[in-house]
Structure 1
Amino acid sequence: MFFVSFISIAIYLTHVAGKSLNPLNESRKGVINSRDINTGVTLPLKATFTPGGTILDVDVTVGGQNFSMYLDTGSSDFYLPRTNFQCLNGTDNSILPQESCLFNKAYTISPTFQQINNQSFGVKYGSGIATGILGYETVTIGGLTVERQQIGVADRITDVGDGNDSGVLGLAYPYLTSAHPGTDYPNDTLSLWSNRIPYDPLFTSLHKQGSVKPFFSLAINRTPVNVSNGDGGLLGLGTVVEVPHKPTFAIAPVQIIGVIPPFFTDNVTAKTYWALSVKSTDINHLVSTNNSFQALVDCGNFFNLVPKDVALSINNAFQPPATPNIDFLETGSSTVSCNATAPSFGMSFSNNVTIYIDPRDMLVENADGTCTSAFVDADVLGESTGIVLHILGTPFLRSVVSIWDFGKDEMRFAERIETSGGADPPPNSSVPVVPSSNGANQGSEIYVTCLLFTVLTLVLVL
C-alpha cells in the first residue's frame, strides 16, 4: 500500500482488470466537453503523512457506520477490517495488538450485510495481506448509495493503515478484485494473485445503477510534511473537479500491461490497471522519442518509476545534480538538495499534447528534512525481479487535473493553473474549470495502494 523508504512499488499486483463500461464514441480533440462538468458529486480528500509518503483518504458510510478509507487507483477492492480482526506480524504471523495495524476503526457486521457463500476474500498489497469473507452491504459515498455492493471484510490482516483510515477503496478495473472460490482459500502470494472471481467495484456499481457517468476525476494537492487529515484535494465521481487548469487535455488510451503474467487474469485478456503509453519525454526542452514507455498511473505511489535513461537524465539535470542514495542498488532512488533547481520535464501522450510537471513536484520531501528525487530508476528495481514496471505516481498527479474514463477506456490530463496566491485552491473552491478556447468536444472520462506492490516481494509476478 505504501511506498516505503526502500521503495515499495505502489501497486497491488492484485489488480488486473475488466471490461469497459458503456463505451462512448465521441470526439477526441483534447478539449473538455460540457457533458463532463456540473454533474455527479465532488468529495474532499484528506491527506495524512506517513514515513512512506502522503496518503489520501475519503469518507464512506458502510452499513450505517462511517469510515475514512484509503483511496487507491492502483487496486479495485473495497475492504474493511472486521471488529475483533487479528493484526498479524507479516514475517512470522504472530498476533499483534490491533492498534499495530493502524486502522482508525473496524467494521461491525450490520443487519444489512449478507454474506456470500462459498467464496473468500484475499488480497495481497505491498504493505501486507488481508483475508476474510465477502458479502453485500449498503455503501454510501458523497450521498450516492449502492444497496448491494460487494465488499471484503477482513479477519486476518498484515496490511496497515495510516492511523486515520480503515481499509481501502479501489478505483481500478473489475479484474483486479480479489474474490476467490471456497471458504478455506490459501493465503500464499501466488494464490492471492490468481484464481479470482471478478466482481463490480464500487464505482462500477454506481455507474451501472445510473448514479454517475462512467468517469471520475482527481486533483491532488500538495501537503506539508507531517500533516494529519489535511487538505488532500478533490475526487469527482461522474464529474470533473472544479480546479483551474489549462483548456487542452493530453489523452492516453488505457492499455493492457504487457508484463503482467496471464494467470493474473485467469488467461483472459483484460484491462486491469490504469496503464498508458508515454510517447516522448522533454527534459530542459530536449525532446526524445527514444524514451517512450508504458506506465501505470497510481495515486498510491509516492514516486515516478521511469526507465533508467529517463531517471538518469532528469537527476543529472538538477542544479546541483541528484546523487544516488546509499541503497541505490536496492531502491533506484537518488538524493537531491531541497534547494536544488529542478529541470523542466514533460511527457507527451497519444494526441501529442505535452504535460509538464510542476518544479515543486520534481522532488519529495522526507520527514527528516532531506529530499529525494521524485524519479526512481525502475530498471534497478527490475533487476531483482526480472520485471520492469513503470509508474506515474502522486508527483505527476499533483501537477494535473486527471480524468479516468471507463466509458472510453482512456485517461486525460490537463496542467493545473495556480490561483493568485500561488497556493492550491481550497476543497470548496468555486473557481470554474477553464473553458475551451475553440469549443471542440472531447468526451467522458482515474492505492501502497493506490497500494503498493513491494518490489522486493514481487517474486515472479507483476
Structure 2
Amino acid sequence: MLFSRVYYGLTVLIASVSATPTIRRHVSSISPRTPPTPLPAADFSTAITASVPRTKAKRFLIQALRESQAAQAGSNFTTVVGGSDFDEEYLTNVTFGEQDFLLIVDTGSSDTWAPQIGFSCFDLSNNSVPQSQCAFGTSGFDINASSTFVTLPDTNFNIEYGDGEFLTGTVGFDTVTVGGMVVPNQELGIVTNAAWEGDGFDTGLMGLASPNLTSVFEGTDPGADEFPQTQIPYNPVFYSAVQQGVVSNPFFSVALDRGSFAAENSPDLDQNLGFIAFGGIAPVNITDTAITVPVQGYNAATFLPENASSVTYFYYTVDVESMSFTGNEKVFGTTNNIILDTGTTLDYVPTEVADAFAAAFDPPAMKDDDDGIYVVVCSATVPEFTVNIGGTTFTVDPADNLLPLGVTDDEGNDLCATGTFDGGPAEEGNIFILGDTFLHNVVVTFNIETDEVTLTQRAPYTNGGGGVGVQRRSPSSLRRRRL
C-alpha cells in the first residue's frame, strides 16, 4: 500500500510488540544521579486541555483553553495542557504563523504537523471518505493566509502510526508559537492526505522526541520513501528553540493531570490537565523524590539499544530496575527498556507483572483474552503500583489504574479496565511503555543536550476524583498508542 512503506518512531516499536520484537536491554553505563535542587523555572509554559467528545466526535474546535499560569513560575514559557478523546489524548494550543490549532502533545514522536485546507481524507484501508470522517478540529492550515510560510521543494512528509493512521503531504517552514515560546522558521509537515481517527478537537500533533524520528523524505513520491535511506532529519520544535537560543535551558518538562470521571461524561474540553514547560520544570507541586537517568541509545543499523561509544537516540527510553505493588511479596525485575511516552494512555508492563497486579485488586481484575485487557468493577480496591528507576521508587496513585469502560456487568456494576496492561513476556526483545497512567504521578524533565531525563514525584493532588478516561467504545479500541 502506498502509505504503508514508512514505519519508524514508535510505529516500529508497536508493530514489533505484536510480532515478538527483538530489541534487547542494555543497562546504561552512565550512573543515575541526584538532580540539582530545585530545577529552574521554565522560560515558557503552556496549558494542556482535554475534551470528551460525543460518540462520533464530529465537533468543531472549542476554544476553551485555560489562561496560561506562567505567573506560578515567574517569567516562563509555560502553558496548560488537557485531554481529548475521553481524556485519552493531551492537547495544547499551537500557532502556525497567525493560525491557531489544538495539537496532541507527544514525547514519543518528533514531527509537528497539521492538515492543509482542502486535504483528502481516507479510512484506514486507504479508501477515500469525506473530510468530516477524519474529524479534525478545524478545516486545516491555510498556507496562503500565512505571511511567514515558505514551502520546502522536492521533499515530502510521510508517516504511518502504530494504530494504522497515516499521513502524507508537503513540507514547509513557518513561525511556531506555543506557550509564548516563538520559534521562527520551524520545519512542519503539511498534510494533504490523511487517514486520521480524530476527535473533533485536535488538528494535528506536536512531536517532542529526537530529530532521528522525523518524517521528511527526499523527492515528492511517498511510494519511493525508505527509512533511513531517503530520510532528511530536521530539528523538531524544541530542538529548534534550543538551537536558536529561545530558551535558557535545553530541557522541557511535562506534568499531566489525571482526568475526573465527571469530566469524562461532559461533551466539553477538560481544561485543567497540567502543563508543558520549555526551559525549566513545569509549575506543579512536587516532592523531594527525584532522580536523573540517561536516555537509552540505539544502534541505528539494527534498531537495538546498546551502550557503544556511538549511539543514536530515538525515544526517551530509560532502564527500569523493578516494579511492585501494595501487598506484593515479590519484586519484579524488568529485563527490557521502557519508553516514557505522553502519547500512550496506558502502561504496558511484562505479563507476569500485569497478571499479578490484576490479581491483587479486590475483587480481582479478570483478563479479557479477546480484547487483551483486565476488567474489574470500578468500585474495586486498587493496590498502589510502584516503579523503581535509577534506585528511586515512584508510586502510581490507585486512581490512575481505574479506567471507565462505560458498560456494566450483569449485576449493574460499572466496569473499568486497569491502567496497567500486559505488554508481553519479560524476555529479551520485548518492549514496554510507561504512558499516562505512570506520567500522571511524576514530572518528567527531558534534557536534549545531555540526553537525560529527570523524574520527580508529584505531591498528591486531586481534580474531582477518578483516573484518566479512555474512549467509551468497545474495549478493543483502547489505543496502545496514538503515535
Query: 2:333 corresponds to which residue?
Result: 290
Equivalent residue for 1:218? 254
Structure 1 residues 129 and 254 mapped into 2: Cα distance closer, same or farther (>3 Å)? same
1:400 corresponds in structure 2 to: 442
- Separation (CA, whole Å) in 1 of partners of 2:480 and 2:238: 15
Which residue of 138, 158, 173 corresponds with 1:122? 158
State the Cα distance separating 1:263 from its structure 2 match: 11
Distance 1:256 1:323 in 2: 37
Alignment of 1:243-258 (within 5 A): 243-256=284-297
| Among 297, 311, 316, the residue aligned to 2:354 | 311
CA–CA distance in structure 1, aligned partners of residues 435 and 400 of structure 2: 11
CA separation of 1:184/1:423 partners in 2, compared to 1, >3 Å: closer, same or farther? closer
Query: CA separation in 1, counterparts of 2:210 and 2:346?
Result: 22
SS in 2 for 1:183: coil
Per-residue CA deviations over 1:105-136 (Å, capped at 9, x if unaligned) read 10001232111121110011134111001111
* In the alignment, structure 1 residue 341 sits paired with structure 2 residue 348: no
Counterparts in 2 of 1:327 and 1:192: CA distance versus 1, 3 Å: farther
Measure the CA separation in 2 of the matches of 1:450 and 1:251: 27
Within 5 A, what are the aligned runs for 1:65-214? 65-91=99-125, 93-105=126-138, 106-109=140-143, 110-127=146-163, 128-186=165-223, 191=226, 195-212=230-247, 213-214=249-250
Equivalent position of 1:442 in the other structure:
none
Please report how far the alpha carbon of residue 66 of structure 1 lies from its aligned counterpart in structure 2 after TM superposition. 0.9
Aligned CA distance change for structure 1 residues 312 and 289 (closer, same or farther; 3 Å): closer
- The aligned counterpart of 2:11 is 12
Aligned residue number for residue 76 of structure 2: none
Unaligned ranges ≥5, structure 1: 1-9, 16-25, 426-447, 454-462
Q: Distance in 2 between matches of 1:28 and 1:379?
A: 27
Q: Secondary structure of the equivalent of 2:242?
A: helix
State the alpha-carbon separation in 2 of the partners of residues 237 and 252 from structure 1: 19
Q: What TM-score results when the alignment is normalised by the length of structure 2?
A: 0.75
What is aligned with 2:88? 54
Q: In structure 2, what is the equivalent of residue 377 of structure 1?
A: 422
Contact 1:125 1:449 in 2 (8 A): no
- Work out whether residues 14 and 123 of structure 1, in 8 Å CA contact, stay in contact via their aligned partners in 2: no
**Structure 2 CA distance for aligned equivalents of residues 411 and 424 of structure 1:** 30
The whole-number CA distance in structure 1 between the counterparts of 2:153 and 2:300 is: 34
- How far apart, CA to CA, are the structure 1 residues paired with 2:329 and 2:114? 47
2:343 corresponds, among 273, 290, 300, to: 300
C-alpha displacement at 1:238, in angstroms? 1.0
Letter in 1 for 2:251: F
CA distance in 1, matches of 2:265, 2:98: 31
Cα distance in structure 2, aligned partners of 1:349 and 1:272: 20
Tell me, what secondary structure is at the counterpart of 1:248? strand
CA distance in 2, matches of 1:336, 1:165: 31
Deviation at 1:366, TM superposition (A): 2.3
In the superposition, the TM-score normalised over structure 1's length comes to 0.78
Distance in 1, Cα, partners of 2:204 & 2:295: 26
Within the alignment, does 1:242 sit opposite 2:283 as a pair?
yes
Question: Tell me, what secondary structure is at the counterpart of 1:249?
Answer: strand
Q: Which amino acid aligns with 1:30?
A: T
Deviation at 1:387, TM superposition (A): 6.2
Question: What is the total number of aligned residue pairs between the two structures?
Answer: 397
Q: Which consecutive residues of structure 2, in runs of 5 or more, have no partner in the other structure?
A: 1-8, 15-29, 53-83, 408-413, 466-477
Q: Which residue of 1 aligns with 2:482?
A: 452
Aligned residue number for residue 413 of structure 1: 455
Per the alignment, residue 429 of structure 1 pairs with none
Q: 1:71 to 1:449 in 2, by over 3 A?
A: farther
Q: Distance in 2 between matches of 1:339 and 1:345?
A: 17
Alpha-carbon deviation of 1:203?
A: 0.5
1:80/1:187 CA distance change after superposition, 3 Å: farther
Alpha carbons of structure 1 residues 391 and 334: separation in structure 2 relative to 1, 3 Å = same
Shift of the alpha carbon at 1:324?
A: 0.7
Q: How far, CA to CA, are the matches of 2:402 and 2:228 in structure 1?
A: 33
Please state whether the residue corresponding to 1:12 is helix, strand or coil: helix
Deviations 1:407-449 (A, max 9, x none): 2212222222135xx4489xxxxxxxxxxxxxxxxxxxxxx99
Amino acid aligned to 1:173: S
Change in CA separation of 1:258 and 1:449 when aligned onto 2, cut-off 3 Å: farther
Contact 1:301 1:393 in 2 (8 A): yes
Letter of the 2:45 partner, please give it. T
Q: Rate the CA distance shift 1:387–1:31 in 2: closer, same or farther, 3 A.
A: closer
Equivalent position of 1:43 in the other structure: 46
Partner of 1:47, secondary structure, is: strand
SS in 2 for 1:81: strand
